[in-house]
Amino acid sequence: MLRRIWQWLKNLWTKLLGLFSQSHLDVSENTQPTSESLPPLTDTDYDFLFGQLLEGVAQGWQSDRVQRFFDELGERGKPELWQEWLQRFGERLLVSPKPNDELAQRMVGFAELTRSLPSLQSLGAMANNIGTQLLSRDDSGAIWEYDGPDVGVSPPPQTFVSEEKDDDAMSELVLKLQENPNLLATVAQQLGVQTSDPRVVIQAMVSQLGVGVENQAQSAESNAEIWAKLGLEQAKAGDLVGAVDSWESALALKSDYHQVWYNRGKALVQLERWEEAIASHDKAIEIKSDDYLAWNNRAEALGKLGRWQEAIASCERAIEIKSGYYLAWYNKASFLVNLGRLTEAVACYDNALEIKPNFDDGWYKRGNVLRDLGLMEEANKSWERARRSRE
């Protein structure tokens, strides 16, 4: 897949602009530099690669795939080097007030996979420690499943999901550009962008050149994956409208592409196109009924339309699948408040806060409901707890 995409990019550039000769774009396996000849990874490099790793873990990588991820990095995949970076990364996360629950959960998941990998156990233990601290610390502002990129990780691991495949072509393409700075600089110059970020360069390709996938002699499924990956890059660059367009092209080729239906629905939620978001999440759930994130996102869109009963039912389905997902409890409580079912709402807030004790917004909203119930002493205690959680 990577070779096909790379050849497609070469053909696209040659056909449309005639910018490069074959020698400029020859990055075949015979001339590809070895990891030993590459410069050491910077913190930005580690951030990017760790985001790719955690995205794979979230989509079902097993221990052998995690091991292969580090093995393929050669000297730059040494666990001791990654531990040094992860310590710095963890310090950045823990001093930030921004909630990073989805990232934290993925770090814990990564740690679980390393238990059977002796060379990575120490790295996994450190990731588990950081993730656990993030989940139990004083956070603020988390209302829905996930509203933006986690601190320090590029690409953002929580906004969109991607299909896990051994030949994760677009991710490898980004890495290949990163490992070939001369090529990256040449492409960026021709596009008129001043950046060393390969994702920005790819986004510029998409925006300025278009994607002539329909003209390539490739299978519909392969083309669908290319559109899906390009949609991810557009979403990461903040072009949600463009991402939705790319994902719709993918779905026209592969109508049962679960991850694309989910990604499209999440983008539509952020674009406040509620009805379309519900329909897209319905399709994702039709294909994968145990996608608790899709159920929760669907509930958000339903709530925005005032369809409280349906929103509650959607939250309950998310909770049935993953009872420890505190935001589904929190969202259900909010919908119950809108129906005037205040006592039930307090119970849901209690469940959310039992899972995440320092969730200040949960304590604050719980206090409001207790006030409305006339329980001022309890309300004051809840508000005080919210205040302490924000400090």
- The structure's pTM equals 0.52
Q: Are the CB atoms for 228 and 245 separated by under 8 Å? A: no
- Which residues have a Cβ under 8 Å from the Cβ of 301 and sit 6 or more positions away? 265, 268, 269, 274, 275, 277, 278, 281
Alpha-carbon gap, residue 385 to 379, rounded angstroms: 10
Count the neighbouring beta carbons within 10 Å of the beta carbon of residue 320.
12
Task: List the chain residues with pLDDT less than 70.
Answer: 1-38, 97-99, 136-180, 182-183, 186-187, 189-192, 199, 202-219
User: Residue 326: what residue type?
Assistant: Y
Alpha-carbon gap, residue 292 to 271, rounded angstroms: 21
Alpha-carbon gap, residue 146 to 102, rounded angstroms: 7
DSSP-derived secondary structure letter, 217: S
pLDDT tens figures, 3-50: 444 454 544 444 433 333 333 333 333 434 444 456 788 887 788 788
pLDDT tens figures, 305-337: 999 999 999 999 999 999 999 999 999 999 999
Count the neighbouring beta carbons within 10 Å of the beta carbon of residue 9.
17
DSSP-derived secondary structure letter, 359: B
Percentage of the chain beyond pLDDT 70 is 70
What residues does each domain of the chain span? 38-159
